[in-house]
Amino acid sequence: MAGKDYYAILGVPKSSSQKEIRQAYRRLARQHHPDVNPGDKAAEARFKEINGAYEVLSDSEKRRKYDRYGDKWQYADQFEQAQRQSAGRWSSGRGGAFDFGDINTSGDLGNLFEGILRGFGRRPARQRGGDVQQPVEVTLEEAFHGTTRVLQMERQEPCATCGGRGQLAGATCHVCRGAGAISKPRRLEVKIPPGVRDGSRVRVAGEGAAGPAGAGGLYLVVSVRPHERFERRGDDLYTEVEVPLTDAVLGGEVQVPTLTSRVVLKVPPLTQNGRKIRLGGLGMPRLGGAQTGPDGPPSGGGRPAGGRGDLYARVKVVLPKELSTEERELFEKLRATQKVGPES
Ligand SMILES: [Zn+2]
């Protein structure tokens, strides 16, 4: 570690407690105080040095930075801010803030550090900003029709006034206050195409974190909320449909809800409980293959690539919960018939 060793100046080990540091400082300060050493320039310089070391080591936050970054500790904020900047900071318009502090700090830490010290404009690799992932939750209906989400985001961008250097004509930049970066609010409306699946990634080019060589990508990571009536498997939907006993036995018609309306389902005679009946083309829209294409939102920009999955109605035969006298007699007759049948 180049530069001054504050621990050595105070004559304490790096593992010292705050109390030990304070005690060492008081002892040395008394010893080298200008009042005790009038006219002694060396003592005065030493006194300043001791105070400088104590100022850093007595402050737990400054000490942490010093321990981590050494004599560059004063740039710790800029370094850490740039790490955040490369990851982006997002908040969702639907509430809930997300911090992706760890998503992308690609590249060598040391190089990045050097780059920051020299200013964004001269970072060695001219890196593109990091990709940012934003989780969004949609209902199955929204996944069916497609939807939009408005994202309120805050993006760290290099300060235009000082070119990201934090300094302007030798003074601290008054716009970014030396940080080299300023956060800019942005409002984005993002289209989520029909047919998105749980885990689909919708890419929005150039809306990730800013970087010297352009912004990274923004990915909406879609999760589709479970539906109370429909289960989704790929592009197919499954639903349960109640069929009265008589219709299951003799055949009949029942109404089946779809995601958009209802359809009439013909139940064939002697339909067994649990039978699956396919309703072709009434499932989810098929999403195009290029969900995460290189440029912009999925292909079609909101139109399904073609066709729809199927809807499967799973039959649940419903037995009567009560019987009229007449119905009871009919069931008695039915039973009698069945008992006689095989034996005769
Ligand atoms: Zn600035």
pLDDT digits (tens), the chain, 344 positions: 446 788 888 888 888 888 888 888 888 888 888 777 888 888 888 888 888 888 888 888 888 888 877 776 776 666 665 555 444 433 333 332 333 333 333 333 333 444 344 444 433 445 667 777 888 999 999 999 999 998 887 777 888 888 888 888 889 999 888 888 888 888 888 899 999 999 988 888 767 766 666 777 788 899 999 999 999 999 999 999 999 999 999 999 999 999 999 999 999 999 999 999 999 999 999 986 434 333 333 433 444 446 899 999 999 999 999 999 999 999 999 999 987 655 54
Q: Rounded to whole angstroms, how far apart are CA atoms 233 and 310?
A: 10
Q: How far is the CA of 86 from the centre of ligand 1 (A)?
A: 17
Residue 81 Cα to ligand 1 midpoint, Å, equals 14
Tell me, in angstroms, the distance from the centre of ligand 1 to residue 164's CA. 6
Instruction: Determine the distance separating the centroid of ligand 1 and the alpha carbon of 54, expressed in angstroms.
Output: 30
Pairing type for strands 311-318 and 276-279 reads antiparallel
Q: How far is the CA of 112 from the centre of ligand 1 (A)?
A: 18
**Distance (Å, rounded) from C-alpha 43 to C-alpha 100?**
50
With contact defined as beta carbons under 8 Å apart, do 179 and 78 qualify? Answer: yes
Q: In sequence order, what are the beta bridge partners of 262?
A: 257
Report the candidate in 180, 300, 184 with the shortest Cα–Cα distance to residue 172. 180
Instruction: Write the CA distances from 138 to 97, 274, 296, integer angstroms.
Output: 17, 30, 20
User: Which amino acid appears at position 258 of this protein?
Assistant: T
User: Could you give phi then psi for residue 9, rounded to 5 degrees?
Assistant: -60, -40
Token pair for residue 238?
Answer: 């499954």
Residue type, 229: R
122 Cα: distance to centroid of ligand 1 (angstroms): 15
Distance from Cα 202 to the centre of ligand 1, integer Å: 34
Q: How far apart are CA 183 and CA 153, in angstroms?
A: 10
CA distance 82 to 105: 9
The verdict on pTM exceeding 0.85 is no
Give residue 55 CA to ligand 1 midpoint distance, Å: 27
Distance of CA 213 to the CA centre of its chain: 24
How many Cα atoms occupy the beta-carbon half-sphere of 48 within 13 Å?
5
* β-bridge partners, 154: 89, 185
In angstroms, what is the span from residue 79 Cα to ligand 1's centroid? 15
Q: Give the other-Cβ count within 10 Å of 33's Cβ.
A: 13
Distance CA 268, CA 121 (A): 73
